[in-house]
Amino acid sequence: MTVFLIRRLMQAVVVLFVMSLIVFIGVYAIGNPIDILISPEADQIERERAIEALGLHLPMWEQYLVFLQRAVTGDLGRSFAFSTPALELIVERMPATLELAIAAMGISILVGIPLGMWAGFRPESLAGRAIMAGSILGFSLPTFWVGLMLIMVFAVHLGWLPSTGRGETVEFLGLQVSIFTLDGWSHLLLPAFNLALFKMALVIRLTRAGMRENLLMDYVKFARAKGLSTGRVIFVHVMKNIMIPVVTILGLELGSVIAFAVVTETIFAWPGMGKLIIDSINQLDRPVIVAYLLITVSMFIIINLVVDILYSVLDPRVRLKEMKS
Amino acid sequence: MTAANGAPTLVVDGLQTHFHTRAGLLKAVDGVSFTVEKGRILGLVGESGSGKSVTGFSIIGLVDPPGRVVGGRILFNGEDLAQASESRLRDLRGNRIAMIFQDPMMTLNPVLRIDTQMVEALQAHQKMDRATALARARDALGQVGIPSPDERLKSYPHQFSGGMRQRVAIAIALLNRPDVIIADEPTTALDVTIQAQILFEAQKLCREVGTALIWITHDLSVVAGLADEICVMYAGKVVEQGAVDRVLDHPLHPYTRGLIGSVPSRNRRGQPLTQIPGMAPSPLALPAGCSFRPRCPRADEGCKVPPPMAELAPGRYARCIHPHLEEAAAA
């Protein structure tokens, strides 16, 4: 286990290094932030001073080295637009996004797995067919459209739920969270459902496929031949086997939910990281973009690690020390 | 033939299991009858697709849709299982009637420990605390010759070899001391030395505990050493039935004869094996009359009428109008 973790850690460092290099070159290619940051009326001297202050006068490779030097001490640079450390800016916004992502994941698991299991258990039934048709909608309707419809129906017409913002937050472990207030929940529900819809469809399909595949296995027939009740066969024997692929995919998807909550955050004016990155790209705020991407990559690495560990818990045939990577 | 130990445990009478498929009605089992007595072993022999496994699943009530038992009686200690409710069948399954499957790699759930899989089989049928159940499980593992059963209970199936897994499956089948065990080709996936051990254990258990055993296989040599009686199945019907030694030594039905002829034997070393010409017919398009007619060297016009099951010699039944009686008489 320790060897496994150390090896993973070393790989993570390499991935982060390569990633930072690619991002740096990419951001460099997008355009020159000076053109956006400094007003056109500024004179030459002012302009040069600003360029020097931001460190943009150095050649690219030198800028990268300066960045690396600072990065190893934990400093990912200052935002051009806000003049605050980029990392601080992102971490400040992170609880909102995490909250949204976790709520969305929770909804897709709590709704998706039971529906998928039923659809796999009774594929010919009316409910089974309806669930599958619904999952196709969940896959194919664009997130932004569903978001707008949700606002139309629940916020505008029915007036049940608020359409924007985060609502009342309370401090929990030094973070601002909204899940402990009723007002926070009412704000969270719509965006979380919007973000969950696609994942829910994915979970339904994965669970259904696993269910149908596993029900045909000999171990199910053997379990039934032992005289076990249908409930025990499904919820103990089959479910544990289904969970293996579901956990793998959900783990990977959790990363993407966090990283790409952008659309939902924009529509519901949710003050999270996704909105920050969009603003930063518009302003060519290089340090924030780079810091955001590095944090996202770190998140993916951590999630993958957790998934591998969970995997070994679920499937006794997988042991961490035997894992090659 | 007649057992000294009393009434038959299981009587299958005219069993019909049909599959309603899109391609048509598939008569997987079409009028199968046999009797198994306490402590006796019946060998159910046939090629792939002859309906022998479906017969086994019909008895235990585990035929999956579109298959359904549509006719006949399955009398288990006098109770007709063909009419029994699902909950009654579940009470009996694993309790009074147990089943062992072909592939030991597939029958145990890979993600559950052996103790879980054994304890649940006990607790499904009687109120029992975990400690008692574990003790019973340990005894059952010991009974089938698994060394250090205490440690093995805590293992997962992938930590066992194929032969050991099949022993675990047999131990699970034995847990509730059933009256009947249906074994569906349980040694086919195992190598011969393990196979011999398992056969020996099975025979011993039957004799000691008085369990009736139905051993489904395509391997005549297995049946020869194990069973008391034999039923040869072809295209969903029993074509020959009788005491195992007499059937194998002097087969009456041309199909049984063909089967025996296609087994390599030391006595016929160097000679080509006699194959049965042609292929087993599709169960969707069985020939009229005797199903074996197109492949049979003795077939004639008379075979176009379905031949009845008839007692052709004392204790010898076959479904044929041109049986190999001359050799049986000579014996």
Nearest CA in chain B to A242: B111
- Which of A16-30, A76-90, A237-251, B110-124 is predicted with the least confidence, judged by mean pLDDT? A76-90
B327 pLDDT tier (thresholds 50, 70, 90): low
pLDDT at res. A269: 82
Chain B nearest CA to A193, separation (Å): 33
pLDDT at res. A174: 65
Tokens linked to B65: 């849709």
A222 to B169: CB separation less than 8 angstroms, yes or no = yes
Chain B nearest CA to A227, separation (Å): 5
Q: Burial-class residue B153 by CB neighbours within 10 Å (0-12, 13-18, 19+).
A: buried
A218 to B91: CB separation less than 8 angstroms, yes or no = no
Quick check: B225 pLDDT over 50?
yes
Residues 6+ apart with CB under 8 A from B260: B220, B248, B251
Residues 6+ apart with CB under 8 A from B32: B12, B14, B15, B16, B51, B55, B72, B231, B233, B236, B237, B238
Residue A229 near chain B (CB below 8 Å): yes
Quick check: A248 pLDDT over 60?
yes
Alpha-carbon distance of A19 to A118, in angstroms, equals: 42
Quick check: B156 pLDDT over 60?
yes
User: Chain B partners of A229 at a C-beta cutoff of 8 Å?
Assistant: 90, 124
- Percent of chain B beyond pLDDT 70? 97
pLDDT at res. A112: 92
Closest partner residue to A217 among B62, B106, B121, by Cβ? B106
Q: Which residue has the higher pLDDT, A80 or A230?
A: A230
A57 pLDDT tier (thresholds 50, 70, 90): confident
Kindly give the pairing relationship between strand B41-45 and strand B229-234.
Answer: parallel
Range from A50-59, A160-169, A305-314, B46-55 that averages highest in pLDDT: B46-55
Chain B nearest CA to A111, separation (Å): 24
Q: Which residue has the higher pLDDT, B6 or A230?
A: A230
pLDDT at res. A262: 83
**Residue from A122, A124, A215, A226 whose CB has the most chain B CBs within 10 Å, to mutate:** A226
Alpha-carbon distance of A89 to A289, in angstroms, equals: 11
Query: Residue A231: how many CB atoms within 10 A of its CB?
Result: 8
- Percent of chain B beyond pLDDT 90? 4
Tokens linked to B46: 């046939």
User: Chain A partners of B172 at a C-beta cutoff of 8 Å?
Assistant: 226
pLDDT at res. B83: 85
Closest partner residue to A315 among B94, B107, B111, by Cβ? B111
Chain B contacts in chain A segment 281-320 (CB below 8 A): 314-317
Closest partner residue to A226 among B103, B112, B121, by Cβ? B121
pLDDT single digits (tens) A7-16 = 888 888 898 8
Alpha-carbon distance of A114 to A127, in angstroms, equals: 12
HEC per residue, A178-243: CCCCHHHHHHHHHHHHHHHHHHHHHHHHHHHHHHHHHHCCHHHHHHHHCCCCHHHHHHHHHHHHHH
A183 pLDDT tier (thresholds 50, 70, 90): confident
Helix (H, G, I), strand (E, B), or coil: what is residue A272?
coil
Kindly give the pairing relationship between strand B97-100 and strand B24-37.
Answer: unpaired
pLDDT at res. A277: 86
Q: Which residue has the higher pLDDT, A56 or A287?
A: A287
pLDDT at res. B257: 84
User: Chain A partners of B111 at a C-beta cutoff of 8 Å?
Assistant: 240-241, 244, 314-316
A219 to B172: CB separation less than 8 angstroms, yes or no = no
Provide mean pLDDT across the span B83-106.
87
Nearest CA in chain B to A315: B111
Q: Burial-class residue A53 by CB neighbours within 10 Å (0-12, 13-18, 19+).
A: exposed
pLDDT single digits (tens) A141-157 = 888 898 888 888 888 88
pLDDT at res. A204: 93
Q: Which fold has domain A93-322?
A: MetI-like fold (1.10.3720)
Quick check: B2 pLDDT over 50?
no
Q: What is the dihedral of CA A48, A50, A51, A54, to 10 degrees?
A: 160
Chain B nearest CA to A310, separation (Å): 13
Provide mean pLDDT across the span B212-236.
88
Strand-by-strand arrangement of the B316-318 sheet: B97-100, B180-184, B212-217, B41-45, B229-234, B237-243, B316-318, B310-313
Quick check: A323 pLDDT over 60?
no
Q: What is the dihedral of CA A257, A260, A266, A270, to 10 degrees?
A: 40
Chain A nearest CA to B182, separation (Å): 10
**Residue from A219, A237, A243 whose CB has the most chain B CBs within 10 Å, to mutate:** A219
User: Chain B partners of A232 at a C-beta cutoff of 8 Å?
Assistant: 120, 124
Quick check: A229 pLDDT over 60?
yes
Q: Residue B218 in contact with residue B33, Cβ under 8 Å?
A: no
Quick check: B6 pLDDT over 70?
no
Residues 6+ apart with CB under 8 A from A140: none
Quick check: A234 pLDDT over 50?
yes
Chain B nearest CA to A101, separation (Å): 30
At A286, which amino acid appears? R
Mean pLDDT, chain B, whole residue set: 84
Domains of chain B: 8-87+180-330 (3.40.50.300), 105-175 (no CATH)
Q: Residue B180 in contact with residue B37, Cβ under 8 Å?
A: no
User: Chain B partners of A235 at a C-beta cutoff of 8 Å?
Assistant: none
Q: Burial-class residue B308 by CB neighbours within 10 Å (0-12, 13-18, 19+).
A: exposed
Quick check: B176 pLDDT over 90?
no
pLDDT at res. B77: 87
Chain A nearest CA to B62, separation (Å): 8
pLDDT at res. B3: 40
A173 pLDDT tier (thresholds 50, 70, 90): low
Chain B nearest CA to A325, separation (Å): 22
Quick check: B128 pLDDT over 80?
yes
pLDDT single digits (tens) B54-65 = 898 999 888 888
Q: Is A131 left (phi over 0), alpha (psi -120 to 50) or beta?
A: alpha
User: Chain B partners of A315 at a C-beta cutoff of 8 Å?
Assistant: 110-111
Quick check: B4 pLDDT over 50?
no
At B33, which amino acid appears? S
B111 to A314: CB separation less than 8 angstroms, yes or no = yes
Alpha-carbon distance of B288 to B210, in angstroms, equals: 42
Query: Residue B148: how many CB atoms within 10 A of its CB?
Result: 10
HEC per residue, chain B: CCCCCCCEEEEEEEEEEEEEECCEEEEEEEEEEEEEECCCEEEEECCCCCCHHHHHHHHHCCCCCCEEEEEEEEEECCEEHHHCCHHHHHHHECCCEEEECCCHHHHCCCCCCHHHHHHHHHHCCCCCCHHHHHHHHHHHHHHCCCCCHHHHHCCCHHHCCHHHHHHHHHHHHHCCCCCEEEEECCCCCCCHHHHHHHHHHHHHHHHHHCCEEEEEECCHHHHHHHCCEEEEEECCEEEEEEEHHHHHHCCCCHHHHHHHHCCCCHHHCCCCCCCCCCCCCCCCCCCCCCCCHHHCCCCCHHHHCCCCCEEEECCEEECCCCCCHHHHHHC
B110 to A316: CB separation less than 8 angstroms, yes or no = yes
Nearest CA in chain A to B118: A226
B95 to A317: CB separation less than 8 angstroms, yes or no = no
Kindly give the pairing relationship between strand B67-76 and strand B237-243.
Answer: unpaired
Chain B nearest CA to A11, separation (Å): 30
Nearest CA in chain B to A222: B107
Quick check: A319 pLDDT over 70?
no
Cα angle A41, A44, A48; round to 5: 115
A228 to B158: CB separation less than 8 angstroms, yes or no = no
- Which of A43-52, A175-184, B82-91 is predicted with the least confidence, judged by mean pLDDT? A175-184
A225 to B158: CB separation less than 8 angstroms, yes or no = no
Alpha-carbon distance of B63 to B57, in angstroms, equals: 5
Q: What are the angstrom distances between the C-alpha of A89 and each of A94, A176, A285, B31?
A: 9, 14, 12, 79
Quick check: B255 pLDDT over 60?
yes
Residue A231 near chain B (CB below 8 Å): no
Residues of chain B contacting A, Cβ within 8 Å: 60, 62, 90-95, 98-99, 101-103, 106-113, 120-121, 124-125, 156, 158, 169, 172
Quick check: A125 pLDDT over 50?
yes
Quick check: A325 pLDDT over 50?
no
pLDDT at res. B1: 39
A320 pLDDT tier (thresholds 50, 70, 90): low
Q: Where are the domains of chain A?
A: 2-72, 93-322
